[in-house]
């Protein structure tokens, strides 16, 4: 005869058992209790929920999404990736600019030597190329990696015989490593085809006229790699480009002098901006994309001494923002100064951060210009990401990552 079903009462009076083997837990104990609580022994009720907080911000706007929530003493705080808010019963209070940042790192070199002046590019084909100066030889080296896995394709390869100051760029189907070669005082490049990154071409001259002066910068603008450098003979301020087919253009020159700092970059119209320090001030000039016409003749931005580094970025309006590092006898007296530039030669300068030096090219995030800055200390040297803001005389900054100075460990910051 068929079995008859019976109801057996199993009171849950012993709670969740997290110590026993899950396959041997007695029927009166629980393995998991979700969204419930013991009102009394043997009685489980649904856990209480939460009331939704208001979304309006004092002043009229609304919070539509959030990226973080935290407490500050007795305040409830939240952020939407751009601004930070403090909760009140009448609405959220906007506390100002508060970006949400994250970072991931991958070590590329682990040995007993020291690596300096690192640079990195990530090519759309899926490879990443890093270059640096290495104390094992005193000159430049590079490695090619699979971007996704981080596995090396080429590791610790030597650049030119006596190469210095390498810079890495993605250009069409190639990765280009530009460097200064001290054996012949030329600026050269190594081309790596993205489709076959297991091999690299031999070094090729970009220019043979820089002499012993190593002041140069390069940047991809549109589909060309532009090089600005100081030539050994007047007129010294020189500009040329390398096409995606690896054809070098003719040089164009200005009767100006790059002292020890220069940067080149493009704007939304692919105009080519060159900003430089000439020993007594910061100046700039602009060419069109083909280097056929001077858009703006050399123009003074700031009369200032002791400029060590310069970086810049074009704005959509069009215009540009530049940042330059001013040195001093003590590193804690270093500071960053910035300038907003326009195509007509107009400029507005302001001090943005003190006690730090310039450590990267600038980039745009959330409509703000950002730059990496370095603070030097005997106790804890640190890198910071800074927002360069053109209102007022002080920028904003936020600490995000690591303490440098670990010998033999070269780290890059992956997208």
Domain that residue 193 falls in:
103-198
Whether residues 216 and 193 share a domain: the answer is no
- For residues 282 and 143, what is the distance between their CA atoms, to the nearest angstrom? 35
Report if residue 237 sits inside a domain.
Answer: yes
The string of DSSP letters for 284-306 reads EEEE-TTSSSEEEEEEEEEE-S-
Whether residues 306 and 393 share a domain: the answer is yes
Whether residues 169 and 296 share a domain: the answer is no
Whether residues 190 and 227 share a domain: the answer is no
Report if residue 95 sits inside a domain.
Answer: no
Q: What per-residue confidence (pLDDT) applies to 6?
A: 82
Q: Which two tokens stand for residue 346?
A: 């107009």
Report if residue 35 sits inside a domain.
Answer: no
CB contact at 8 A, 266 and 223: no
- What distances in angstroms separate CA 197 from CA 24, 123, 129, 384, one per listed residue? 56, 11, 10, 33
Whether residues 240 and 273 share a domain: the answer is yes
Report if residue 157 sits inside a domain.
Answer: yes
Report if residue 389 sits inside a domain.
Answer: yes
Whether residues 296 and 356 share a domain: the answer is yes
CB contact at 8 A, 83 and 62: no
Q: What per-residue confidence (pLDDT) applies to 391?
A: 54
End-of-domain residue from the set 161, 176, 198:
198
End-of-domain residue from the set 152, 176, 198:
198
Q: What per-residue confidence (pLDDT) applies to 390?
A: 61
CB contact at 8 A, 99 and 396: no
Whether residues 120 and 239 share a domain: the answer is no
Report if residue 61 sits inside a domain.
Answer: no
Q: Which two tokens stand for residue 96?
A: 């100002």
Whether residues 188 and 223 share a domain: the answer is no
Q: DSSP code of 334? A: -
CB contact at 8 A, 277 and 285: no
Q: What is the pLDDT along the chain (415 residues), one digit of tens a residue?
A: 677 888 877 777 778 888 889 888 888 888 888 888 888 777 888 888 778 888 889 888 888 888 888 888 888 988 887 788 999 888 899 988 777 777 777 788 888 899 999 999 999 999 999 999 999 989 999 999 999 888 999 999 999 889 999 999 999 999 999 999 999 999 999 999 999 999 999 999 999 999 888 899 999 999 999 999 999 999 999 999 999 999 999 999 999 999 999 999 999 999 999 999 999 999 999 999 999 999 999 999 999 999 999 999 998 878 999 999 999 999 999 999 999 999 999 999 999 999 999 999 999 887 788 899 999 888 888 888 888 876 544 444 433 333 344 444 444 444 3
Q: What per-residue confidence (pLDDT) applies to 273?
A: 98
Q: What per-residue confidence (pLDDT) applies to 50?
A: 79
Report if residue 388 sits inside a domain.
Answer: yes
End-of-domain residue from the set 140, 174, 198:
198
Whether residues 358 and 284 share a domain: the answer is yes
- Enter the pTM of the model: 0.80
Whether residues 177 and 309 share a domain: the answer is no
- For residues 198 and 159, what is the distance between their CA atoms, to the nearest angstrom? 15
Report if residue 56 sits inside a domain.
Answer: no
Whether residues 149 and 247 share a domain: the answer is no
- Candidates 224, 304, 292; CA nearest to 264 is 224
Q: What per-residue confidence (pLDDT) applies to 12?
A: 74
Whether residues 228 and 147 share a domain: the answer is no
Q: What per-residue confidence (pLDDT) applies to 403?
A: 38
Q: What per-residue confidence (pLDDT) applies to 1?
A: 62
Query: Residue 250 belongs to a domain with what CATH number?
Result: 2.120.10.80
Number of domains in the chain: 2
Residues ≥6 apart with Cβ < 8 Å to 303: 280, 281
Dmax of the chain from CA atoms? 111
């Amino acid at each position: 005869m068929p079995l008859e079903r019976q109801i057996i009462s199993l009171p849950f009076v012993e709670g969740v058992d997290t110590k026993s083997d899950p396959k041997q837990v007695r029927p009166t104990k629980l393995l998991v209790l979700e969204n419930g609580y013991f009102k009394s022994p043997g009685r489980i009720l649904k856990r209480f929920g939460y009331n939704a907080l208001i979304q309006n911000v004092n002043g009229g706007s609304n919070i539509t999404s959030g990226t973080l929530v935290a407490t500050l003493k007795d305040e409830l705080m939240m952020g939407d990736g751009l601004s930070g808010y403090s909760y009140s019963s009448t609405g959220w209070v906007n506390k100002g600019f508060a970006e949400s940042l994250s970072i991931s790192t991958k070590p590329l070199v682990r040995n007993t030597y020291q690596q300096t002046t690192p640079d990195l590019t990530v090519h759309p084909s899926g490879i990443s190329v890093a270059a640096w100066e290495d104390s094992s030889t005193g000159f430049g080296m590079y490695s090619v990696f699979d971007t996704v896995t981080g596995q090396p394709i080429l590791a610790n390869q030597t650049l030119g015989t006596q190469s210095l100051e390498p810079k890495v760029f993605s250009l069409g189907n190639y990765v280009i490593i530009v460097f200064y070669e001290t054996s012949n005082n030329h600026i050269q490049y190594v081309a790596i085809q993205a489709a076959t990154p297991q091999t690299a071409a031999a070094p090729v001259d970009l220019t043979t006229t820089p002499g012993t002066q190593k002041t140069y910068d390069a940047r991809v603008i549109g589909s060309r790699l532009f090089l600005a450098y100081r030539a050994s003979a007047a007129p010294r301020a020189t500009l040329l480009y390398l096409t995606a087919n690896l054809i070098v253009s003719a040089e164009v020159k200005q009767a100006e002098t790059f002292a020890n700092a220069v940067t080149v970059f493009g704007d939304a119209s692919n105009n080519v901006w060159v900003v430089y320090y000439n020993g007594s001030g910061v100046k700039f000039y602009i060419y069109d994309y083909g280097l056929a016409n001077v858009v703006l003749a050399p123009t003074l931005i700031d009369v200032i001494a002791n400029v060590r580094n310069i970086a810049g970025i074009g704005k959509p309006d069009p215009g540009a923002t530049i940042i330059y590092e001013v040195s001093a006898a003590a590193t804690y007296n270093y500071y960053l100064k910035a300038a907003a530039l326009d195509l007509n030669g107009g400029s507005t300068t302001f001090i943005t951060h003190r006690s730090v030096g310039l450590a990267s090219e600038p980039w745009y995030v959330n409509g703000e210009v950002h730059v990496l800055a370095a603070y030097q200390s005997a106790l804890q040297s640190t890198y910071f990401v800074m927002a360069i803001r053109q209102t007022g005389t002080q920028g904003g900054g936020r600490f995000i990552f690591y303490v440098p100075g670990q010998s033999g460990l070269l780290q890059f910051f992956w997208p």
